[in-house]
Amino acid sequence: MKGKALLGIGAVAALVLSGCALNGGESSNEGESTSGPVTLTFQSLAYQDSTVAAVKDIVDTWNSDNPDIQIKLTQGTWDNVHDQLVTQFQGGTAPDIIHDESSDIMGFAEQGYLADIGKYLSADVKSAVSKDVWDTVTTADGKVIAAPTLLQTYVVFANTDAFTTAGVEVPSGKELSWDDFQGVAKQLTANGKFGVGWGLKQPTAAVMNTALGFDGTFFDTKDDGSATIHVGDNELAVPERIHAMAYDDKSLDPVSLTQSGTDVLPNFLGGKYAMYVGGNFLAQQITESAPTGFKWTVLPPLAGSAGATQAANPQTMSVSAQSKAPAQAAKFIDYFSSAENQAKLAQGDWLIPASKPARDAVAAETKSTPVWTPILASGEDLAGAPFQKAKNYPQWKDQFATPALQQYLANSISLDDLKKQLTDGWSSIG
Amino acid sequence: MTQTLAPPSPPRPTVRKVAEPPARRTRTFTRPLQYLALLGYMVFLGFPLLFLLSTSLKTPRELRSTDSSFLPEKLNWDNFGNAVEKANLAQAAGNSLYVAALTTVIVTVISLPAAYALARFRTKLRGVATVWILLSQVFPFILIVIPVFLVLKQVGLVNNPLGLVLVYTVWCLPFALWMLRGYVAAIPVDLEEAGAIDGAGRLRVLRSIVLPLLAPGLVATSLFTFISSWNEFFFALVLIQDPGLQTLPLTLARFFGAEGQVQLGQLAAASLLATIPSLVFFLIIQRRLTSGLMSGAVKG
Amino acid sequence: MTAVAAPARRRRRRGDGRDAWLLVLPALVPVVLVSVYPLAQGILLGFTDARAGLNQAVHVNGVDNYTRLLGNELFWSSFRIGLIWAFGVTILQFLASLGLALLLNLNLRLRWLARTLALVPWAMPPVVIAIMWRMMLNPTYGPVNDAMRTLGLPGDINWLGDFSTALPAVIVVGVWAGMPQTTVTLLAGLQNVSPELHEAAAIDGAGAWQRFWHVTMPALRPVAVAITSLDLIWNFNSFALVFVLTSGGPGGETMLPALFAYNEAFKYGNFGYAAAMGNVMVIVIAAFLFVYLRGQARSRES
Tens digit of each residue's pLDDT (9 = 90 or more) over C211-261:
888 888 888 988 898 889 889 988 988 899 999 999 887 888 999 999 999
Distance from B129 to chain C by nearest Cα, in Å? 10
| Residue C295 pLDDT | 85
**For C26, which of B47, B113, B233 is closest by C-beta distance?**
B113
Once rounded to an integer, what is the mean pLDDT over residues C80-95?
96
| Residue B122 pLDDT | 76
Hey, of B4, B5, B9, B128, which one would you mutate to test binding to chain C, going by the most C CBs within 10 A of its CB? B9
Distance from A183 to chain C by nearest Cα, in Å? 25
Tens digit of each residue's pLDDT (9 = 90 or more) over A10-62:
444 444 344 434 443 344 444 445 567 899 999 999 888 888 899 999 999 99
Q: Which residues of C117-137 are buried (b: 16+ CB within 10 A; e: fewer)?
A: bbbbbbbbbbbbbbbbbbbbb
Hey, of C2, C65, C131, which one would you mutate to test binding to chain B, going by the most B CBs within 10 A of its CB? C131
C24 and chain B in contact, CB less than 8 A: yes
**pTM for this structure?**
0.86
Contacts of B254 in chain A (CB under 8 A): 77, 79-80
| Residue A208 pLDDT | 93
Classify strands A227-229 and A219-221 as parallel, antiparallel or unpaired: antiparallel
| Residue A429 pLDDT | 82
The CATH number of domain A34-150+314-368, selected from 3.40.190.10, 3.90.76.10, 3.40.50.2300, 3.30.470.20: 3.40.190.10
Which of B167, B176, B165 has its CA nearest to residue B133? Answer: B176
Q: List the beta bridge partners of residue A279.
A: A154
In a domain, C295, yes or no: yes
Radius of gyration of chain B (CA): 23
Binning pLDDT at 50, 70 and 90, where does residue C274 land? Answer: very high
| Residue B132 pLDDT | 82
In a domain, C200, yes or no: yes
- Each residue's pLDDT, cut to its tens digit, for chain A (430 residues) gives 334 444 444 444 444 344 434 443 344 444 445 567 899 999 999 888 888 899 999 999 999 999 999 999 988 888 888 888 998 998 888 999 999 999 889 889 988 999 999 999 999 999 999 988 998 899 888 899 999 999 988 999 999 999 999 999 999 888 999 999 999 999 999 888 999 999 999 899 999 999 999 999 999 888 776 889 999 999 999 999 999 999 999 999 999 999 888 888 888 998 899 999 998 888 888 888 788 889 999 999 999 999 888 988 899 999 999 999 999 999 999 999 999 999 999 998 889 999 999 999 999 999 888 888 888 888 778 888 888 888 788 889 989 999 999 999 999 999 999 999 999 999 988 6
Query: Taking CB atoms and an 8 Å limit, are C140 and A19 in contact across chains?
Result: no
**For B260, which of A20, A48, A90 is closest by C-beta distance?**
A48
The CATH number of domain A154-311+392-429, selected from 2.60.120.380, 1.20.1440.230, 3.40.190.10, 3.90.1150.10: 3.40.190.10
> What is the total count of domains within chain C?
1
Q: Where exactly does CATH 3.40.190.10 map onto chain A?
A: 34-150+314-368, 154-311+392-429
Distance from B11 to chain C by nearest Cα, in Å? 9
Query: Taking CB atoms and an 8 Å limit, are A47 and B241 in contact across chains?
Result: no
**For A86, which of C52, C57, C158 is closest by C-beta distance?**
C52
Strand ranges for A252-351 from DSSP E: 273-279, 296-298, 302-303, 310-311, 315-319
Query: Nearest chain A Cα to C266, which residue?
Result: A83
Q: List the beta bridge partners of residue C48.
A: C60
Query: Taking CB atoms and an 8 Å limit, are B259 and A78 in contact across chains?
Result: yes
| Residue A304 pLDDT | 93
In a domain, C50, yes or no: no
Query: Nearest chain C Cα to A91, which residue?
Result: C52
Break chain C down into helix, strand, coil percent, rounded to 5.
75, 0, 25
| Residue B65 pLDDT | 66
In a domain, C175, yes or no: yes
Residue C234: give the domain boundaries: 73-301
| Residue B6 pLDDT | 42
**For B2, which of C37, C202, C237 is closest by C-beta distance?**
C237
Distance from B79 to chain C by nearest Cα, in Å? 16
> What are the average pLDDT values for consecutive 10-residue runs of chain B, which has 300 residues?
40 43 58 92 94 89 70 83 80 94 96 89 80 79 86 89 94 88 86 77 80 88 92 93 89 67 81 91 76 47
Distance from A164 to chain B by nearest Cα, in Å? 23
B295 and chain C in contact, CB less than 8 A: no
| Residue A34 pLDDT | 59
In a domain, C177, yes or no: yes
In a domain, C92, yes or no: yes
Query: Nearest chain C Cα to B68, which residue?
Result: C141
In a domain, C10, yes or no: no
CA gap C95, C171 in Å, rounded? 14
Tens digit of each residue's pLDDT (9 = 90 or more) over C162-191:
889 999 999 999 999 999 989 988 988 888
| Residue B258 pLDDT | 46
Could you tell me the CATH number of the domain that includes residue C235? 1.10.3720.10
Query: Taking CB atoms and an 8 Å limit, are C188 and B63 in contact across chains?
Result: no
| Residue A414 pLDDT | 95
Query: Taking CB atoms and an 8 Å limit, are C289 and B138 in contact across chains?
Result: yes
In a domain, C283, yes or no: yes
Tens digit of each residue's pLDDT (9 = 90 or more) over A101-126:
998 898 899 889 999 999 999 999 99
Query: Taking CB atoms and an 8 Å limit, are C125 and B233 in contact across chains?
Result: yes
| Residue B203 pLDDT | 77
